[in-house]
């Protein structure tokens, strides 16, 4: 089952989330907390629409991982993620972050392709956290990071809100389809970034 995020965290971030995204952000994790997987998947579809990835999300969640279409998408995901990491400028002291993140990608893909969605999602949360650090530096670890990301761009803010919200989830008891759907949001967004 999903553990509740701290009330302060949710309340603090509510004020920075644009009105057009509130319906999705207000309901998504509530359905997870209540154990309503189908309603949560419907909210994830709405989130995919808000992020502009509804076509990719639908494809990823409709086909098995071994399907040629999904394998092609995972290749694009991996290539795009590696390109984003390589193109990110960081201080010399932070080069090791880039290297560690690049090393995590093959293991993540392997776990995902093995169908271990729970472990893959846990690994993906780490990847997103490190990617946020590469993009935004120390700001990514501050309490107002989501607000900062929304000021840069609402869609980027929504994605990083989602990534941060994933960190607070307990994945125990979530069904395979829901875990795959949770992963699909991040994979599809990075694939099209």
The fraction of the chain above a pLDDT of 70, given in percent, is 90
Q: Which tens digits make up the pLDDT trace of 87-96?
A: 887 778 778 8
For 22, 81, 130, the CA distances from 142, given in Å and listed in that order, are 22, 23, 14
- Across the range 135-139, mean pLDDT stands at 90
CB 47 within 8 A of CB 155: no
pTM: 0.86
For 84, 132, 135, 146, the CA distances from 88, given in Å and listed in that order, are 6, 11, 7, 20
CB 179 within 8 A of CB 121: yes
Tell me what pLDDT residue 132 has: 93
The fraction of the chain above a pLDDT of 90, given in percent, is 60
Q: Give 183's pLDDT tier (boundaries 50, 70, 90).
A: very high
For residues 35 and 47, the model is more confident at 47
Give yes or no for residue 162 having a pLDDT over 90: yes
For 7, 43, 50, 126, 173, the CA distances from 3, given in Å and listed in that order, are 12, 18, 25, 18, 11
Tell me what pLDDT residue 186 has: 96
Domain borders along the chain are 7-192
- Taking the C-alpha atoms of residue 83 and residue 102, their distance in angstroms, rounded to an integer, is 10
Q: Which tens digits make up the pLDDT trace of 45-84?
A: 999 999 999 999 999 999 999 999 999 999 999 999 999 9
């Amino acid at each position: 089952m999903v553990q509740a995020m701290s009330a302060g965290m949710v309340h603090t971030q509510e004020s920075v989330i644009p009105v057009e995204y509130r319906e999705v952000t207000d309901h998504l994790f509530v359905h997870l907390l209540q154990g309503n997987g189908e309603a949560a998947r419907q909210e994830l579809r709405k989130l995919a629409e808000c992020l502009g990835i509804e076509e990719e999300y639908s494809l990823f969640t409709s086909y098995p991982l071994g399907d040629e279409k999904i394998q092609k998408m995972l290749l694009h995901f991996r290539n795009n993620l590696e390109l984003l990491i390589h193109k990110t400028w960081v201080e010399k002291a932070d080069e090791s972050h880039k290297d560690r993140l690049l090393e995590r990608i093959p293991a993540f893909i392997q776990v995902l392709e093995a169908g271990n969605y729970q472990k893959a999602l846990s690994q993906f949360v780490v990847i997103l956290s490190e990617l946020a650090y590469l993009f935004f530096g120390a700001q990514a670890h501050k309490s107002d990071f989501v607000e900062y990301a929304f000021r840069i761009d609402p869609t980027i803010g929504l994605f990083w809100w989602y990534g941060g919200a994933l960190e607070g989830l307990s994945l125990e008891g979530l069904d395979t389809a829901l875990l795959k759907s949770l992963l699909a949001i991040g994979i599809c967004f990075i694939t099209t970034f």
